[in-house]
């Protein structure tokens, strides 16, 4: 059977690439979706922990206060599966004890009195002085950890900001861009003034759930998207893209293995790949490709466990750097999600708890060189060192590694992204999307995909009239 020439090639089938392909197909474009790995979904993945027990081992929740994810779930007919976490709250592990996690705006406290249980007496006294510390306007982006050090003292960075940002980026707060990881608070803080005051003003309590998930796992989004794409006639090939060259009428992609390389040409291309492969494809096309290739990534792993002999308190435990050798966060999945508890009991009987331990931060790649059994044993030993967890017994386990999985938004990231987008406006039919740009969460990736798909559709409509598809403006 002869394959029809695609109108748009989407490279990368993580959540951003899948969503971009869906939007473009719905707009009437013939779409070819390329994925270099054997499976679809990127950082959305599930694993069979036991017979009848499938759990998320990548992203596990969505931000429902942004519209993108709820809209996608609804349009895929999954409204009945949308669930929200229980009322259980996370805690943080400090000095060998689990204490309640104070409210904050991604690790920046808006209420100072509630920090007393988290900080030492000296650290608490230092934090209380924040409103009186001189706060001139911010001249430019800076590392959020350095600013929190300056405003509240380093204990707030170490015990509140680091564990929260570590759970999102697996990075280090004193290197992450304030403007990129907390843009709303950054805009408030640019004018100067108390950072705790700005944090208090930006909190939005009482607006309903912040996060959601799907009964059966958020990885179910991948299955639903793949089914719909196939129904729409989107061609999906498991083949890497090795080179991109602008040509008359669009772009020529070299795909496949080096021994069996093929060339395809299309009027438009969306690159939904991580920064480094995107940089290789854009080399010689945009100047920002060099910056893209330098974006650092953190590697981490999820150790999912079915355990007995423990009664977890709260939805999970955040672990500041230095408190435990391996673990940076623990999610008490059975406590956090009712569907997980019910599935675990059906599969393994009563008294079983499902635990997800996240291990590894940027710069800790050697840790992930351990084999699955050794990494699991090390993780379990650390869990047994937690208060009241010495009786933990493992009924089932699985390890999911995410090598180079999380981009690190360093100082100046947003300016560089804006520069890249500006350069791409000169290329009709070429767009990028994904976690490397405007946020690592599912909602941010979906928003990025929407913007990319809209650019492609607008470019193709305009160029169809002008006859200059793929040409640089």
Whether 235 has a pLDDT exceeding 70, the answer reads yes
Q: How many angstroms separate the CA atoms of 189 and 197, rounded?
A: 9
Q: Final residue of a domain: which of 202, 229, 246?
A: 202
- In this predicted structure, the answer to whether residue 472 has a pLDDT above a threshold of 70 is no
Domain span at residue 451? 8-43+218-295+410-466
User: Does 288 fall in a domain?
Assistant: yes
% of residues, the chain, pLDDT over 90: 91
| Domains contained in the chain, number | 3
pLDDT at residue 358 in the model: 97
pLDDT of residue 209: 84
pTM recorded for the entire structure: 0.95
What average pLDDT does the segment 449-471 reach?
81
- Is residue 381 domain-shared with residue 414, that is, in the same domain? no
What's the pLDDT score for residue 470? 47
**Are residues 363 and 306 both part of a single domain?**
yes
382 or 1, greater pLDDT? 382
- State the angle between helix axes of 68-75 and 442-466 in degrees (0 to 180), rounded to the nearest 10: 80
Give a yes or no: residue 451 inside a domain: yes
Q: How far apart are CA 32 and CA 268, in angstroms?
A: 11
Same domain (yes/no): 398, 313: yes
**Is 96 part of any domain?**
no
pLDDT of residue 204: 72
Higher pLDDT, 375 or 464: 375
In a domain, 198, yes or no: yes
The pair of three-digit structure tokens given for residue 348, joined into one six-digit string? 């393994």
**468 pLDDT exceeds 60?**
no
Q: Which residues fall within 8 angstroms of residue 326, CB to CB, at 6 or more apart?
A: 359, 360, 367, 375, 378, 379, 382
- Amino acid 259: pLDDT: 86
Mean pLDDT of 288-294: 98
Mean pLDDT of 444-462: 97
pLDDT cut 70: percent of the chain above it: 97
Same domain, 34 and 18: yes
What pLDDT is attached to residue 473? Answer: 53
CATH code where residue 259 lies: 3.50.50.60
Predicted confidence (pLDDT) at residue 464 exceeds the cutoff of 90: no
Q: Is the pLDDT of residue 34 over 80?
A: yes
Clarify whether residues 345 and 366 are in a common domain: yes
Among residues 149, 174, 202, the one where a domain terminates is: 202
- Looking at the fold, whether 282 and 358 belong to one and the same domain comes out as no
- Same domain flag for 116 and 198: yes
- What are the tokens at 445? 């990736």
- Output the pLDDT for position 208: 74
pLDDT digits (tens, 9 = 90+) for 391-412: 999 999 999 999 999 999 999 9
**pLDDT bracket for residue 3 (50, 70, 90):** low
Q: Is residue 89 in a domain?
A: no
Mean pLDDT of the chain: 95
Q: What is the mean pLDDT of residues 459-472?
A: 67
Asked whether residue 93 is assigned to any structural domain, the reply reads no
Tell whether 284 and 332 lie within a shared domain.
no
Query: Which pLDDT tens digit goes with each residue over 365-393?
Result: 888 999 999 999 999 999 999 999 999 99
On whether the CB atoms of residues 301 and 399 are closer than 8 A, the answer is yes
pLDDT at 1: 40
316 and 190 part of one domain? no
Reported as a pLDDT band with limits 50, 70 and 90, residue 331 is very high
Residue 127 lies in a domain: yes
Does residue 231 sit in the same domain as residue 304? no
Residue 440 located in a structural domain: yes
How far is it, in rounded angstroms, from Cα 467 to Cα 142?
45
At 365 the pLDDT is 84
**Which CATH number covers residue 319?**
3.90.660.20
Q: How many CB atoms lie within 10 A of CB 346?
A: 10
Question: Does 307 lie in the same domain as 372?
Answer: yes
Are 322 and 401 in a shared domain? yes
């Amino acid at each position: 059977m002869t394959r029809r020439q695609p109108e748009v090639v989407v490279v990368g089938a993580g959540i951003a690439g899948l969503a971009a392909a869906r939007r473009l197909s719905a707009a009437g474009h013939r779409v070819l979706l390329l994925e270099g790995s054997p499976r679809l979904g990127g950082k959305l993945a599930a694993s069979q922990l036991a017979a009848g027990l499938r759990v998320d081992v990548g992203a596990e929740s969505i931000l429902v206060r942004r519209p993108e994810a709820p809209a996608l779930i609804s349009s895929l007919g999954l409204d009945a599966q949308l669930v929200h976490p229980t009322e259980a709250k996370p805690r943080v592990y400090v000095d060998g004890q689990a204490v309640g996690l104070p409210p904050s705006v991604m690790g920046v406290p808006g209420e100072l009195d509630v920090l007393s249980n988290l900080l030492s007496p000296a650290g608490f006294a230092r934090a209380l002085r924040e409103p009186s510390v001189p706060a001139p306007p911010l001249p430019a982006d800076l590392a959020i950890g350095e600013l929190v050090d300056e405003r509240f003292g380093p204990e707030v960075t170490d015990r509140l900001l680091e564990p929260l940002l570590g759970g999102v980026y697996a990075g280090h707060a004193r290197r992450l861009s304030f403007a990129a990881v907390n843009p709303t608070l950054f805009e408030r803080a640019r004018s100067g003034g108390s950072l705790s005051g700005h944090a208090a003003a930006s909190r939005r309590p009482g607006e309903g759930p912040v996060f959601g998930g799907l009964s059966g796992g958020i990885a179910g989004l991948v299955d639903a998207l793949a089914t719909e794409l196939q129904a729409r006639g989107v061609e999906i090939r498991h083949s890497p893209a090795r080179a991109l060259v602008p040509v008359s009428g669009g772009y020529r992609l070299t795909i496949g293995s080096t021994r069996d390389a093929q060339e395809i040409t299309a009027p438009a291309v969306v690159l939904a790949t991580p920064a480094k492969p995107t940089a290789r494809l854009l080399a010689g096309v945009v100047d920002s490709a060099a910056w893209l290739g330098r974006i650092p990534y953190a590697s981490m792993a999820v150790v999912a466990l079915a355990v007995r002999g423990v009664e977890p308190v709260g939805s999970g435990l955040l672990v500041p750097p230095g408190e435990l050798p391996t673990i940076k966060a623990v999610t008490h999945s059975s406590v956090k999600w009712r569907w997980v508890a019910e599935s675990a009991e059906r599969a393994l009987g009563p008294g079983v708890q499902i635990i997800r331990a996240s291990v590894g931060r940027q710069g800790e790649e050697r840790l992930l060189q351990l084999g699955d059994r050794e990494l699991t044993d090390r993780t379990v030993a650390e869990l047994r060192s937690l208060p009241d967890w010495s009786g933990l017994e493992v009924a089932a386990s699985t390890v999911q590694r995410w090598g180079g999985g999380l981009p690190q938004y360093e100082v100046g990231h947003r300016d560089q992204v804006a520069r890249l987008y500006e350069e791409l406006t000169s290329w009709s039919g070429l767009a990028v999307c994904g976690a490397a740009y405007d946020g690592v969460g599912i909602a941010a990736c979906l928003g990025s995909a929407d913007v990319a798909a809209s650019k492609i559709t607008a470019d193709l409509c305009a160029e169809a009239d002008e006859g200059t598809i793929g040409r640089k403006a």
